[in-house]
Structure 1
Amino acid sequence: MEIWWLRHAMPSVDPDVPSSDWPLSADGLAAAAALRPLPPPGATLLASPEPKAWQTLETYAGRTCSRDARLREVDRDEPFGPGFRERRRAYVDGVDHPGWEPRAAVAARLQATVDDGLAAAEPDGVLVLGTHGMALTVWLTSVGLLDDPGAFWAGLGFPTLLRLAADPGSAQPPATRVRWLG
């Protein structure tokens, strides 16, 4: 089985609207449509309910997807404005900010989505998950795939597609059940 993680494309930023409600920008829609490789027709598609995430996945795949709140971005109290990149990078690197969701909780909800998605997918199928940069970085760190979470997060594009092989039947911990494909 494979897990494909899709970090959302560039949203249309509006400081008067919560970031969880931002839709994709025109450039974001074009970038999502240009992604390759396309998922196979039978792939299971799940996305965060945030418009920027599900719009990226649906535009990329060319069909509708199911939405799963567990794929949302990190819950946080964060002011809009300068310094957000530094705060976010510090968070994925292990700094506990007051009012921010604990990384262990983020990793657990994404792992539960992976487990449920793999159980529902076709054997030897593909599970495509549309999510957000910090949440994805936290999960990848939790399964032992990142040595430098901050650098990884800082290097993510809008959008980014990651492919992993998964062995959902393994009795091993999550870190030994996944590996990079590309």
Structure 2
Amino acid sequence: MRVLGGPNGYSDAMAAVQGERLFLVRHAKPVVDPEVPAEQWQLAQESRVAARLIRLHVKHPAYYVASSEPKAAQTMQEIAGAQRVVTDDDLTEVHRPHVWLTDEDYHGAALAYANGRCPDGWESLERVIERFDAAVVRHAAAAAERGQTLVVGTHGLAPTVWMASRYRLDPDPARFWEGLRFPDIVEIDLQSQTVSCLAH
């Protein structure tokens, strides 16, 4: 387990996230198709077993919500089993033009984004943080009403920049994003304001 920090001072003006802890799940590997926008990619069949292994880190029953993108929603359904998974457009990945980038080019652009530099045509960091934060706050409130732990199925960049707006990520947001796996699970202790990667 990697423990990644404490409060960084960015969250003073944000609404509180209810509950003791929440989990963010980065989706498992999708089927990559250059002809199809990334937001439409489906979960690879061989990734479903890896997704189900994330269940070991979650106490059931829980409140499950996922990005409306198929690869994230399908990953979360594998974890949730027979339990219902709510979907929410505000938990989707950073929106960017449908232009095919090599792995190297995407990696460089994503690192820059995580460090606060928005490539041309990409959704602004402010907008991503605003929508993602609103979704987490409202679903955490719904989970708290049920006495359940919130488990969020999402992506890599959007949750990273959101977490960086509220919590300290070590050594920095870009390296945190770079270290995320497919799939991965992150626990946020809302009392101590610490972030931990649980799957490695």
Q: TM-score, normalised by structure 2?
A: 0.80
Residue 56 of structure 1 pairs with residue 75 of structure 2: yes
CA contact (8 A) 1:38 1:60 kept: no
CA contact (8 A) 2:68 2:92 kept: yes
Q: Which has the higher contact order (CA 8 A, sep 6+)?
A: 2
Partner of 2:162: helix, strand, or coil?
helix
Post-superposition shift, 1:140? 1.1
Extract unaligned runs of 5+ from structure 1.
168-176
Alignment of 1:148-159 (within 5 A): 148-159=172-183
Post-superposition shift, 1:162? 0.8
Post-superposition shift, 1:53? 0.2
Distance 1:69 1:10 in 2: 20
Root-mean-square deviation over aligned CA pairs: 1.7
Match for residue 54 of structure 2 among 35, 38, 61? 35
Alignment of 1:1-182 (within 5 A): 1-63=20-82, 64-77=84-97, 79-82=99-102, 83-122=105-144, 125-147=148-170, 148-166=172-190, 178-180=193-195, 182=198
Post-superposition shift, 1:37? 2.4
Higher deviation after alignment, 151-160 or 123-132: 123-132
CA contact (8 A) 1:39 1:61 kept: no
CA contact (8 A) 1:38 1:61 kept: no
Amino acid of the residue matched to residue 9 of structure 1?
A
Higher deviation after alignment, 51-60 or 89-98: 89-98
Identity of aligned residues (%): 37
CA contact (8 A) 1:73 1:131 kept: yes
Amino acid of the residue matched to residue 88 of structure 1?
A
Distance 1:29 1:42 in 2: 20
Q: TM-score, normalised by structure 1?
A: 0.88
Aligned residues: 173
| Aligned structure 1 segments of 4 or more residues deviating by more than 2 angstroms | 36-42, 122-125, 177-182
Amino acid of the residue matched to residue 127 of structure 1?
L
